[in-house]
Amino acid sequence: MDYRNILALGFLLLCGGYFFRSLQPANATLPPYPVGTSYNGYPYESIQCNGCTQSTPFLTVPSDKYFILTTATIPRHGTCEIYIDNQSTYLDDTTTGNLFNEGRGRLVVSSNSSISTPISNCYIEGFYADPNNINLVSLHGIVSANSTSTLLTIPNDKHFVITGGKLNYSGTSSVYLLSDNTTILEGSLFYGIKHPFNNDKGNLKINAGTQLKIENNAGSDIFYYFQGYYAPL
């Protein structure tokens, strides 16, 4: 066969392959770790806290990095409680389930913040990330009894996708997630161990330009933790 025919045939095959790929659906996926996670040549930090105290940080995040806490556990059962700048994040075994026990947590800790724990034998893992090149979001706090709290205002140019989380109140039929003032999910899907958010496998989309809220109609305060990422429209 003439070499010109071979080149022409190769060009047609290349164009056909590109055209076929262009027909495939474009799916937004969250990479396991965002780009730019190295620090001093090695991205991970792992610490066994022996004799740690709440008032003594075991890690202070560098001024040019964020730290993404993925694991917080003790040698036997349960998850050790984590404090950021001496404020509780409510990340213990009653509020996080298996997320941090299995290394699926994505707790974003800002630059210069300190991390501590009152548990004397807690094991910690995580990785460093470039603050200018990170797409992860984590939310934690308390919603008082019989009240509604705004957790996050979503930008107008992107959606927010909740992949994991936990509520600590067992009567979560009285607790609801709202987008603005519209109910989007019962809180019961964030309690217990058999739900997609327990293992960071959820994909709950909160629309751009809205506010993520929790409505707590229960007679007691609840602790919450959510993690996820921003997705383009």
Overall residue count recorded for the chain in this entry: 233
Core vs surface per residue 158-191: b (16+ CB within 10 A) or e: bbbbbbbbbbbbeebebbbbbbeeeebbebbbbb
Question: 216 with 17: CB under 8 angstroms?
Answer: no
Q: Each residue of 88-114: pLDDT tens digit?
A: 888 765 555 578 888 889 999 999 999
Q: Indicate the pLDDT class of residue 140, thresholds 50, 70 and 90.
A: very high
Between 172 and 145, residue with greater pLDDT: 145
Map residue 21 onto helix, strand or coil.
Answer: helix
Mean confidence (pLDDT) of the chain: 80
Whole-model pTM: value is 0.79
**Distances 171 to 117, 148, 153, 186, 198 between C-alpha atoms, Å:** 28, 16, 26, 11, 17
pLDDT at 58 over 60: yes
Q: Where do the domains of the chain lie? A: 44-129, 137-232
Selected residue with higher pLDDT from 37 and 60: 60
Mean pLDDT calculated for residue range 208-223: 93
Average pLDDT over residues 129-151: 91
Q: Which fold has domain 137-232?
A: Jelly Rolls (2.60.120)
* pLDDT beyond 90 at 153: yes
Q: How many other CB atoms are there within 10 angstroms of residue 148's CB atom?
A: 14
- Take residue 93 and report the two structure tokens written for it: 């075994």
Query: Whole-angstrom Cα distance, residue 213 to residue 140?
Result: 12
Give bridge partners of residue 66 from the DSSP assignment.
129
**Residue 121 corresponds to which tokens in the numbers above?**
């034998």
Task: Give pLDDT, residue 219.
Answer: 85
Determine the pLDDT at residue 149. 97
Residues whose CB falls within 8 Å of the CB of residue 77, separated by 6 or more in sequence, listed in order: 93
Smallest CA-to-CA distance from 166 within 224, 85, 108 is with: 224
- State the pLDDT at residue 168: 78
For tokens 């036997």, the residue is 76
How far apart are the C-alpha atoms of 199 and 191, rounded to whole Å? 12
CA dihedral 89, 90, 91, 97 (to 10 degrees): -150
Q: SS3 of 136, please?
A: strand
pLDDT greater than 90 at residue 129:
no
46-62 burial code (b ≥16 CB/10 A, e <16)? eeebeebeeeebbbebe
> How is residue 1 annotated by DSSP?
-
Highest mean pLDDT among 19-23, 52-56, 77-81, 106-110: 106-110
Answer whether residue 157 shows pLDDT above 90. yes
